[in-house]
Amino acid sequence: MRGGRVAEDVPNIGAARRRTTPPALMTDLPLWLENLLQTLATGILVGGTYALMCVGLSLIFGVMRVINFAQGDFLMLGMYAAFYLYTGVGLQALMGPYIGPIVAAFLAGPIVFAIAWFLHRWLMSRVSGTATQGVAGEGHHAQLILTLGIALVLQNGGLIVFGSMPQSIRSPLSKEAWELGPVLLNKSRVVAFCVAVGVALLLYFFMNRSVLGKALRAAADNADAAIYMGIDVDRAHRLAFSIGIALTAIAGGLVAMYYPFQPYVGLDFVIIMYTGVVLGGMGSILGAFWGGMTIGLVQQLSTLILPIQLQNTAIFVVFLVIVLFRPQGLFGRITERT
Amino acid sequence: MGMPRILRSPYTAVAAVAIAYIALAYLIDNKYYQLMITLMLLWSVMALSWNMLSGYSGLVSFGHASFWGLGAYTVTLALVKFDITPWLGIPLGVVVGAAAAAAIGYPTFRLRGHYFALAMLAYPLALLYVFEWLGYQEVPLPMKREQPALYMQFADQRIYVLLALALLVASMLISLRLERSRFGLSLMAIKQNEPAAEAAGINALRWKLLAIMLSGAIGAAGGGMYALVLLVVTPPTVFGMLVSAQGLVLTLFGGVGTVWGPVIGAAILVPLAETLNAELGNVLPGIQGVVYGIAIILVILYAPEGLYWKARDWLAKGRAAPVAAEPAPAVAQVASLRTNFPVTAPRPVAMSSAVPILQLQSVARSFGGLRALDSVSFEVRKGTLQGIIGPNGSGKTTLFNVLNGFLRPDHGRIRFNGHSLVGMKPNAVCRLGIGRTFQVVRTFPRMSVLHNAMVGAFVRSRDDARAEALAREALERVGLTGRANALAGALTNKERRLMELARALASVPELILMDETLAGLAPQEIDDLLPLLKQLNTEGLTIIIIEHTMHAMVRLADDFIVLDHGRMIAQGKPADVVHIPAVIEAYLGKRWMSRVAN
């Protein structure tokens, strides 16, 4: 592992400012309560973007039954896509520093969607979907290893293409905050939260209202039956894979406004995503949304009692506790017959 | 073929590779290449460590960096903080690695498939943050100017090559030794069908724990040596994703589940990646990872088991097409005919005694709201051939699963020869003397028929020769001796049923639970099988059999138990039971009634 990683989160901007606020301006809330409220608020805001990432991963698992190990690295691609759209292509000049980053994050979606589409067409479809229907284990082993290979190529290829210098999308929003009583809400996080929740809602309506969405759900429910009903399962899988990855990429573009990133950044998020998805019940989109929210809260709340370097360790612990103690409950049915 | 045995021994091959390597090490005097061939050895060790667990057991680990990193930090911190020489530090690391492996394995083995892989990923990443937080971001190993050899420090790089080679050879010998023992066979059985292995008496958790502890020990030794060679340890270089990935990629690339795979993988990929990194590292900084990523993608698409197996299959195809056309089936036919004896042969009545071998008392088991077993009580006497009938979903298989430990009854008592079976694991139930076959045959398809049966025999034998003898005897009893060397995956349906029976017999059971053994067989095949079952019963084996084929059951069983909706609605002699109206209504149907009436 040659590339560096970002050793710590960007200092919690709200917390940094709060410390400099003179005591005279404080309301009569005790400090611990104020800390708690601030952390809760940050947790919810961060959780919104995590929720969108988790929804993307969960959509893929729900439809394809594939655990995409490379999801974090597609998130990284989303961050760089947004970065280059903003700085290189000129969205910064065109739309200014307030709207520009948000539009860039949105546009990162279709770009990464296209990459995912081709990767599914050329690689994933050979070890999943109809290619492995009825095969023992349904190719889970091959899928997992293949996505690991894709992850390695993306991470290290990213190092070649983008370099190891940490980047960030500089938006004045990340230095400004709204005050809500004693709680400071970082503007970039609020905007990211709103956009992420909005996109997740769009997906929800797409899955429940549109014909295409219903076809996806049918393919997820019972691939065999869907084939008999004339649904092209491989195409449905490709669509789910690409949409799922595009959603995570958009979430990446949003996070990039306040989180510096380099090509290995995916690893910081991959466990966050798995934990959220597992927490919400594998394959459930709504569950993944709330799971991601919860992880945001857990991560931020852990900073109240743990040093900041260990906030991701706290998530690993949550992840292990869930998979170890609630495996069947959260992973759905045990269908093994003897 | 014509080769003397010693030349074909894998140990000879290991020695040859080692000697060639020593020669290579002496020829190279460029420091960079010396480092490269050292790293190649160490990554081979890592890959062997990964193979020890994941290759043999099939549980893919994404987190072997835990052991590598703990080994590296143990050696480094022992030297830096306590001035403990690596000569002791590496063994200490091995202990730490094995202990960590046990601590990680015990909870994590509850998971399967990709959940296991992902959970394993969390451990090294968590450790990475912990070591950063502890302030060990970059720990250099101090130079010892006095007595450097005492601290495993040598000016001559070639000595490191020799040390790493010694470590690799030791790891290979351990792997080879275990691969061919019951350790290897048991893990292979677990990999191919864990429930079947458990039912055949394999304590899956115990073998997996042993595998991960050995794996952790080897990985930690490799990591410790790695720290000595690199002279500086940072959390990402020893706990990072690429470390775990390397063990996995090298093994899968070279060949999974064999000692040669990891070595072949490392011999090809490590020099390739290192050379590219040296030549192009400045321009293309991540080239190593890209090479590993592409290698693993290609392998998964074109040779999913790795180069070693691909090459073997390819060689086998060129050389020995006739192997498959062995006239073995004919032999099996003859053998199975030999066991045929007239159906009408009188059964020695004295065999079934009054002593109960199995007693159930109000056994119940629910799945959510569904009462799969509802207060079932009965006794089976020693030597009985007990039939269980009932419509689909009446709880027959659930009853077996409760009996042999796959399911725990919600309440009720089960006694076998006086021992309570409630809460026992399947392997322990098998140890007590209860064998089991399955409704859907569960074989270990990539193992030979003999090895399949041997897996069942381990529970009754301390040494492997005895296990083989028991297995051969069991195959003889079911008439499969002629097929002993065939792959289980290549058997016909009937042969697979017989092999499953032989596997159960090899554990020398007193009672055998047979779940629809006759299902899917042609009438002629059923007629071949019935006398065999009768004979086994005559020889003293108590049999409980679930079966739908009524005409076969009436001829076979001494006694019927009828289940319906989880309740026992009748027990008695077949001739009596088939006349009970409740039985006719629940199971046999009106057509049966009219036939009986005629």
Query: Which residue type occupies B369?
Result: G
- DSSP at B448: B
Residue B238: band (very low, low, confident or very high) from pLDDT cuts 50, 70, 90? very high
| Binary contact (A148, B401; C-beta < 8 A) | no
Q: Residues for chain A: how many in total?
A: 338
Residue B143: band (very low, low, confident or very high) from pLDDT cuts 50, 70, 90? confident
Mean pLDDT of B206-233: 95
The answer to whether residue A230 scores a pLDDT higher than 60 is: yes
Residue A6: band (very low, low, confident or very high) from pLDDT cuts 50, 70, 90? very low
**Interface check A305 vs B, CB under 8 A:** no
Mean pLDDT of A68-81: 94
* Residue-level pLDDT at A80: 95
Q: What is the dihedral of CA B565, B570, B572, B577, to 10 degrees?
A: -90
* Minimal CA separation from A63 to chain B, in Å: 16
Whether B376 and B565 have beta carbons less than 8 Å apart is answered as no
Query: Which residue type occupies B551?
Result: H
Tell me what the pLDDT averaged over chain B comes to: 85
C-alpha to C-alpha distance for B207 and B57, rounded to whole angstroms? 9
* Residue-level pLDDT at A57: 92
pLDDT tens-digit readout, B426-439: 999 999 999 999 88
The answer to whether residue A13 scores a pLDDT higher than 60 is: no
Query: Which residue type occupies B597?
Result: A
Mean pLDDT of B530-549: 89
Nearest alpha carbon to residue B553 among B534, B581, B579, B525: B534
pLDDT tens-digit readout, B2-25: 556 666 788 888 998 899 888 888
**Interface check A158 vs B, CB under 8 A:** yes
| Binary contact (B236, A142; C-beta < 8 A) | no
* Residue-level pLDDT at A331: 41
pLDDT tens-digit readout, A307-327: 887 888 888 888 888 877 775
Q: What's the first-to-final CA gap in chain B, in angstroms?
A: 68
Of B125, B301, B304, nearest to A316 by CB-CB distance is B125
Buried b (16+ CB within 10 A) or exposed e, B94-126: bebbbebbeebbeebbebebbbbbbbbbbbbbb
* Minimal CA separation from A189 to chain B, in Å: 25
* Residue-level pLDDT at B344: 34
Within 8 A of B245 by CB-CB distance, chain A residues are 148, 152
pTM of the model: 0.83
Mean pLDDT of B335-354: 42
Residue A334: band (very low, low, confident or very high) from pLDDT cuts 50, 70, 90? very low
Residue A27: band (very low, low, confident or very high) from pLDDT cuts 50, 70, 90? low
> What's the maximum distance between 2 C-alpha atoms anywhere in chain A?
71
| Binary contact (A271, B300; C-beta < 8 A) | no
> Chain A: residue nearest B233 by CA?
A1
B412 phi-psi bin (left φ>0, alpha ψ -120 to 50, beta other): left
Q: Among residues of chain A, what percentage have pLDDT more than 70?
A: 85
HSE, side-chain direction, 13 A CA sphere, residue B409: 26
Instruction: Return all residues near B368 (Cβ < 8 A) that are at least 6 apart.
Output: none
Q: Is the dihedral of CA A37, A41, A46, A48 positive or negative?
A: positive
* Residue-level pLDDT at A164: 85
* Residue-level pLDDT at B329: 38
Residue B206: band (very low, low, confident or very high) from pLDDT cuts 50, 70, 90? very high
Within 8 A of A147 by CB-CB distance, chain B residues are none
Per DSSP, helices labelled H in B320-405 are 328-339, 396-403
* Residue-level pLDDT at A138: 61
Q: Among residues of chain B, what percentage have pLDDT more than 70?
A: 91
Report the CATH superfamily, name and number, of domain B337-597: P-loop containing nucleotide triphosphate hydrolases (3.40.50.300)
| Binary contact (B293, A156; C-beta < 8 A) | yes
The answer to whether residue B173 scores a pLDDT higher than 90 is: yes
| Binary contact (B297, A146; C-beta < 8 A) | yes
Interface contacts (A, B; CB < 8 Å): 157
Within 8 A of A155 by CB-CB distance, chain B residues are 241, 286, 289
* Minimal CA separation from A125 to chain B, in Å: 11
| Binary contact (B296, A142; C-beta < 8 A) | no
Q: Among residues of chain A, what percentage have pLDDT more than 90?
A: 32
Mean pLDDT of B127-148: 89
| Binary contact (B242, A152; C-beta < 8 A) | yes
Nearest alpha carbon to residue B102 among B131, B123, B129, B78: B123
HSE, side-chain direction, 13 A CA sphere, residue B169: 18
For the record, the structure tokens of B3 come out as 């080769």
C-alpha to C-alpha distance for B480 and B334, rounded to whole angstroms? 10
* Residue-level pLDDT at B463: 84
The answer to whether residue A333 scores a pLDDT higher than 50 is: no
The answer to whether residue B501 scores a pLDDT higher than 50 is: yes
Mean pLDDT of B519-534: 87
* Minimal CA separation from B575 to chain A, in Å: 30
Higher pLDDT, A136 or B471: B471
Of B62, B240, B439, nearest to A1 by CB-CB distance is B240
The answer to whether residue A255 scores a pLDDT higher than 70 is: yes
C-alpha to C-alpha distance for A194 and A177, rounded to whole angstroms? 15
Q: Give the full edge-to-edge strand order of the sheet including B385-389.
A: B434-436, B511-515, B542-546, B385-389, B559-564, B567-572
Tell me what the pLDDT averaged over chain A comes to: 81
* Residue-level pLDDT at B6: 66
Whether B15 and B222 have beta carbons less than 8 Å apart is answered as no
Residue B548: band (very low, low, confident or very high) from pLDDT cuts 50, 70, 90? confident
Residue A282: band (very low, low, confident or very high) from pLDDT cuts 50, 70, 90? confident
Whether B103 and B45 have beta carbons less than 8 Å apart is answered as no
DSSP string, B5-32: HHHHSHHHHHHHHHHHHHHHHHH---HH
* Residue-level pLDDT at B598: 60
Mean pLDDT of B559-577: 87
| Binary contact (A336, B289; C-beta < 8 A) | no
The answer to whether residue B239 scores a pLDDT higher than 80 is: yes
Nearest alpha carbon to residue A2 among B138, B236, B40: B236
The answer to whether residue A199 scores a pLDDT higher than 80 is: yes
Instruction: Tell me the C-alpha to C-alpha distance, in Å, between residue A241 and each of A63, A154, A235, A267.
Output: 8, 16, 10, 20
C-alpha to C-alpha distance for B301 and A279, rounded to whole angstroms? 32
* Minimal CA separation from A22 to chain B, in Å: 31
Q: Where are the beta strands (DSSP E) in chain A?
A: 177-180, 183-186
C-alpha to C-alpha distance for A234 and A80, rounded to whole angstroms? 29
* Residue-level pLDDT at A327: 56
* Residue-level pLDDT at B148: 82
- DSSP at B305: T
Number of H helices, E strands in chain A: 13, 2
C-alpha to C-alpha distance for A68 and A61, rounded to whole angstroms? 8
Q: Is the dihedral of CA A117, A123, A127, A133 positive or negative?
A: positive
* Residue-level pLDDT at A157: 92
For the record, the structure tokens of B392 come out as 């689909």
Q: Is B191 helix (H, G, I), strand (E, B) or coil?
A: helix
Higher pLDDT, A268 or B94: B94
HSE, side-chain direction, 13 A CA sphere, residue B387: 28
* Residue-level pLDDT at A136: 57
**Interface check A2 vs B, CB under 8 A:** yes
pLDDT tens-digit readout, B370-404: 888 988 999 999 989 999 988 888 888 899 999 98
Residues 166-225 of A with CB under 8 A from B: none
The answer to whether residue B305 scores a pLDDT higher than 80 is: yes
Q: What's the first-to-final CA gap in chain A, in angstroms?
A: 44
C-alpha to C-alpha distance for A61 and A244, rounded to whole angstroms? 9
| Binary contact (B294, A149; C-beta < 8 A) | yes
Domain boundaries, chain B: 5-316, 337-597
The answer to whether residue A194 scores a pLDDT higher than 50 is: yes
Residue A88: band (very low, low, confident or very high) from pLDDT cuts 50, 70, 90? confident
| Binary contact (A152, B397; C-beta < 8 A) | no
Q: Where are the beta strands (DSSP E) in B201-316?
A: 232-233
